[in-house]
Amino acid sequence: MLNSDYRRRVAETIKQVEAGTDAELVTVLAPEADNYLYISTLCAAFLALLLAPLLQFLPWWLDYREAFTLQWILFIGLAVLFRWRPLTMRLVPRKVKFWRAANLARRQFLQQELHTTRGRLGMLIFVAEAEHYVEILADRGLAEQITDETWREIIEEFIREIKKGKTGEAFIHCIERCGELLREVAPATTMKNELPNHLVILD
């Protein structure tokens, strides 16, 4: 997550960008889009159930009650182990991670009231750090003028920097690059600041 210095720099960069455009820019950083508890638990349960076919290779004195106890011990041990964050993220399919992150991004677009801006010029830069997921959501006033390919190029560069551990710099570079586009398609005509400039960090 970003320290206070990077948060301040992000807020200053947003302020500078919005001084030259009528668009409203909001940035949201989520440490993770989901805790994926159901996936880690299901994996632990599945592996514990696989113990049953192996019982025939265990010592002859192992009765069904002891085998059942072993399965429970294995399940609990794996469930705890799979809660280790790096391991959890490896267990979750990429499509599931991106689906959860995309859903959270759209909820944030509404919660940050980006759909209420004048001229429909709201834009969200959303990052789910654990998933290495970045999405830029633009309201109708911007989406009609900026192609998806342009957004995709910015996002790909952003993700490359995040994977290198440069989340703070990635945010600032992304905001600056978006600012260049916003000044072209929605140059400033009025002095306004409808939404907060600070980086929103989700718990």
Residue pLDDT tens, the chain, 203 long: 678 888 899 999 999 999 899 999 999 999 999 999 999 999 999 988 887 677 666 665 566 677 778 888 889 999 999 999 899 999 999 999 999 999 999 999 999 989 888 889 999 999 998 898 999 999 998 988 888 888 999 999 888 887 787 878 888 999 999 999 999 999 988 777 777 778 898 98
- What's the number of domains the chain is made of? 2
Boundaries of domain holding 73:
37-91
Q: Residue 176 has what pLDDT? A: 93
Boundary residue ending a domain (45, 64, 91): 91
Q: Please report, for the domain that includes residue 158, its CATH number.
A: 3.10.310.50
Q: Residue 81 has what pLDDT? A: 94
Q: Residue 65 has what pLDDT? A: 74
Q: Residue 192 has what pLDDT? A: 74
104 & 172 share domain: yes
**DSSP per position, 87-155:** HHHHHS-HHHHHHHHHHHHHHHHHHTTGGGSGGG-EEEEEEETTTTEEEEEE-HHHHTTS-HHHHHHHH
136 & 170 share domain: yes
C-alpha distance from residue 174 to each of 15, 45, 126 (Å): 14, 42, 11
29 & 41 share domain: no
This prediction has a pTM of 0.84
101 & 86 share domain: no
